């Protein structure tokens, strides 16, 4: 029976030769992930179910990243519960202040996840790790609790959409523009409970940071997961990084897909998602009349090193527009440190921006950049629902780091020039 890349990974972890779309399976897990918001709920369920031990202390990752350093008493109590649980169960991959980072940037960077893995995380953007050739998907805290105890999870095997990539991106575009364009094309439910499998000659022109960004936002099209093939770029990224040996899977040539979508990367332009859904996309060049109050560059979508470099290349030697608040958040401590070493941090501060320790804070309207009524923010985050970043009468526009940084200078949504 022909299978897609995702189906092969699930079949292997279920101990089966073949699986088909719609089939219910129980699969072994390589990593179970939680953060400071979802893990306390999972811990409560873990205890309520009477579990006393985790299935493998080396296959659980708990990352305190949403409200860390703690923003208030509730956040402090949630983090304390995570710390105590991690200590009592000797969790190997526990990340707190000083060594933490935004979870979906941190786990690939630290080699906690790798090609061929089956991963669940109590966070919807766990689908990020498909960039490495893994099956990864978000689940609820109850599933996280069961996963921590048993090392297993059940899935309905997804059917798939093939996204065939050709061409090469212009210099003023990135993976963010690709995924925003794709979501604008198919809608927020266009891939509902399906695997989005990226293929084609265009794949080799995309960096690992591009791929991580693209897979991160596949859930915004309703997908169960997104996944890229393992190629030389993947292998180079994984080399001497991962705890486990990567396992490479490839889709069968006659694998069945629900549909095939063609994307010519050379036709992609700087793209912005307007309020209040990621599918509401428009070319940035058509939005130059929209005045902004805040810029956020960071998050699990676009807080990686290439994103910091893109922001630096735009902001160096320039000034953020008067009346605009520009917040830059490197996604991990390693990226934060590298920004200092390269001089990016100084350039950001000189431009009039602030640089934060790694946190998800403003993305979900938590802290470090809440919007008031009537305010507009252009952000490199992944969601722009009503009230996502603060007041229900505020607006969030999603864009690439280049577009966000360019807009910070002008004070209006502005498309970056091709040379930037």
Residue range 226-269, pLDDT digits in tens: 999 999 999 999 999 988 899 999 999 999 999 999 999 999 99
Distance, CA of 399 to CA of 281 (rounded, Å): 10
Query: Distance between CA 157 and CA 20 in Å, rounded?
Result: 6
pLDDT-derived band at 419, boundaries 50, 70, 90: low
Residue 185: pLDDT band with limits 50, 70, 90: very high
Which class in CATH covers the domain with range 271-410?
alpha beta
The predicted structure's pLDDT at residue 100: 87
Per DSSP, the three-state class of 346 is: helix
Q: Do domains 5-263 and 271-410 have the same CATH topology?
A: yes
Domain boundaries, the chain: 5-263, 271-410
Mean pLDDT of the chain: 96
The pLDDT-based confidence of 420 (bands split at 50, 70, 90) is low
Report the percent of the chain where pLDDT is more than 90.
97
Tell whether the torsion through CA atoms of 384, 388, 389 and 395 is positive or negative: positive
pLDDT in the model for residue 10: 98
As to burial, measured by CB atoms within 10 angstroms (0-12 exposed, 13-18 middle, 19+ buried), residue 131 is: buried
pLDDT at 113: 97
The mean per-residue pLDDT over the stretch 157-174 comes to 97
Segment 318-336, tens digit of pLDDT: 999 999 999 999 999 999 9
**pLDDT bucket at 1, cuts 50 / 70 / 90:** confident
The predicted-structure confidence for 11-43, as pLDDT tens digits, reads as follows 999 999 999 999 999 999 999 999 999 999 999
The whole-number pLDDT of residue 286 equals 97
Alpha-carbon distance 270 to 310, whole Å?
Answer: 13
CA distance 170 to 185: 19
Give the architecture (CATH level 2) of 5-263.
Answer: 2-Layer Sandwich (3.30)
For 97, the token pair is 């202040």
């Amino acid at each position: 029976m022909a299978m897609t890349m995702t189906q092969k990974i699930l079949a292997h972890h279920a101990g089966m030769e073949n699986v088909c779309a719609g089939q219910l399976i129980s699969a072994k897990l390589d990593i179970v992930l939680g953060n400071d918001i979802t893990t306390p709920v999972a811990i409560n369920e873990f205890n309520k179910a009477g579990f006393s031990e985790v299935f493998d202390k080396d296959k659980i990752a708990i990352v305190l990243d949403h409200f860390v350093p703690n923003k208030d008493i509730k956040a402090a109590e949630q983090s304390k519960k995570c710390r105590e649980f991690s200590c009592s169960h000797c969790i190997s991959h526990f990340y707190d202040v000083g060594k933490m980072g935004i979870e979906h940037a941190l786990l690939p960077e630290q080699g906690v996840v790798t090609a061929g893995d089956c991963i669940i995380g109590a966070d919807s953007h766990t689908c990020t790790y498909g960039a490495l050739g893994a099956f990864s998907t978000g689940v609820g805290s109850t599933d996280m609790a069961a996963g921590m105890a048993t090392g297993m999870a059940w899935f309905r095997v997804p059917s798939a959409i093939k996204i065939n990539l050709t061409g090469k991106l212009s210099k003023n575009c990135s993976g963010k523009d690709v995924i925003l364009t794709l979501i604008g094309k198919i809608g927020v439910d266009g891939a509902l409970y399906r695997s989005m499998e990226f293929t084609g000659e265009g794949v080799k022109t995309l960096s690992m940071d591009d791929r991580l960004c693209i897979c991160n936002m596949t859930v915004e099209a309703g997908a169960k997961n997104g996944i890229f093939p393992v190629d030389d770029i993947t292998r180079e990224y994984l080399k001497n990084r991962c705890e486990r040996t990567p396992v490479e899977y490839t889709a069968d040539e006659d694998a069945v897909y629900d549909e095939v979508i063609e994307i010519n990367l050379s036709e992609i332009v700087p793209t912005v998602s307007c309020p209040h859904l990621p599918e509401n996309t428009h070319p940035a060049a058509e939005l130059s009349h929209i005045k902004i109050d805040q810029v956020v560059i960071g998050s699990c979508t676009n807080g990686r090193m290439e994103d910091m470099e893109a922001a630096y290349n735009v902001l160096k030697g320039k000034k953020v527009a008067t009346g605009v608040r520009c917040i830059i958040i490197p996604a991990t401590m390693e990226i934060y440190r590298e920004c200092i070493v390269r001089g990016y941090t100084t350039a950001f501060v000189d431009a009039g921006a602030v640089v934060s320790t790694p946190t998800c804070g403003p993305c979900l309207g938590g802290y470090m950049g809440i919007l008031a009524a009537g305010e507009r923010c252009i952000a490199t985050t992944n969601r722009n629902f009503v009230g996502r970043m603060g007041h229900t009468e505020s607006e969030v526009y999603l864009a690439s780091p280049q577009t966000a940084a360019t807009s910070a200078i002008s004070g209006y949504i502005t498309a970056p020039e091709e040379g930037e």
